Structure 1
Amino acid sequence: MKTFDLSTPAGRFATYVDYNLNDHAFLRLRFQNAHWLGDRLVRTNQPWPFQLKRWRDKGVRTVINLRGGFDASFYALERDACARLGLKLIDFTVRSRAAPSREQILGARDMFAQLEYPALMHCKSGADRASLMSVLYAHFQLGWPISQAVEQLSFRYLHMKTSKTGVLDHVFATYLSEAEPRGISFLDWVMSDAYDADALTREFHAGWWGNLLADKILRRE
């Protein structure tokens, strides 16, 4: 396991080198894929430390890292920046290539209810995991029906339905076709035996060209 030491100039330099080479951070210097959901939550790609300062100056108080907390250069820099800037950092790991578990959906609902807002929520590209969580935020916090909230899973945010990440669309499409017409709420469906994250993941089959673009060319997480 690689350790990133930010306590020395050499260690910080090495961390930024890794951040750019292995996390492709240079692509996010000017493009943040930033979109507000209402006036309390903004979704973005992985922010640089200087971008976190700009968001803090705009009023953001909480940062939600959907990539998880582990020993990577992006996380070392983000954790350090949040500590220096007085931002609360929350790690809430979700997957982009599998249906969310019941526990993840309920955990997201509870987290959104307890956050100190305004908040910034990000994954790596701001395309898939951020889109999934934006659907849940729009539904649970803004009161949007799933049929409207699911628009957060869109190519507008660089989400690709034809790759393995399309399984996220499959989850909501299944609800809209099988449960909503019977008057079942999204939460009740998730809480019922009908919701099986593993089965939903197995059912979805991505296109080969979508996988090629997302996994090999764009190298999405």
Structure 2
Amino acid sequence: MATDDPRERIIQAGMKLLADGGPAAMTTRAVSAAAGVHAPTIYRLFGDKDQLLDAVVGHGMAAYLDSKVAQAPSEDPVEDLRRGWDLHIEFGLENPAIYAAIYGSPRPDARRSSAERRADEILAGIVHRVAEAGRLAVPEARAAQLVHAAGRGAVFSLIGLPEAERDAGLSTLAREAVIEAITTDGDRADDAGHGAPVAAAVTLRAGLDGLAELTDAERRLMGEWLDRIAHARS
């Protein structure tokens, strides 16, 4: 370890153990031995093993998340959604142990890692921009959940295969299927409700907080109406 900072040594040791053997290998004893610190130091700096794991995966995911945030939004939020998807797949394939530690054991909201929560916030922001542009055909929460579920499924499907057998086109097909399901060009109104009425309701809902002409009570009431339209027809 090329640092005198015990916290950094612990995180780096945890990263290596996680990559080599998964979360089960990242015991307090193994981390303290690899980092050259006493076990009480880990408890003092991180609290417990779950908090240590959170810090380790958060550190491992930080560069990926920063790259998503650093991307300047383009004029086409749907293209930004595509780029975000591709970055997500790339991170999972290059860091399978960290990815599995973050997404492999679904947990209630209160127990999700900080890395997972931050990634969700970034995705929600991109989806919100799609809605503001009048391109979203389903409610924002549903769109984000579908992108998340399909992206996570694609990553786990691919990392479960030997590298030589991975079909890179699988991610592209899944991505385009999801985008087709949640976006609209605003001109079509098919039987599934993915047309102008839903897109209009979702778009207006996305900008509702900025309508200074309405009172708080009026915004809440309009929000309920718009949500009812979007959910009933999507």
Q: Shared fold (TM-score greater than 0.5)?
A: no
Q: Could you say which structure has the larger radius of gyration?
A: 2
- TM-score normalised to structure 1 length: 0.29
Larger strand percent: 1
Larger helix percent: 2
- TM-score normalised to structure 2 length: 0.28
- By relative contact order (CA 8 Å, sep 6+), the higher-ranking structure is 1
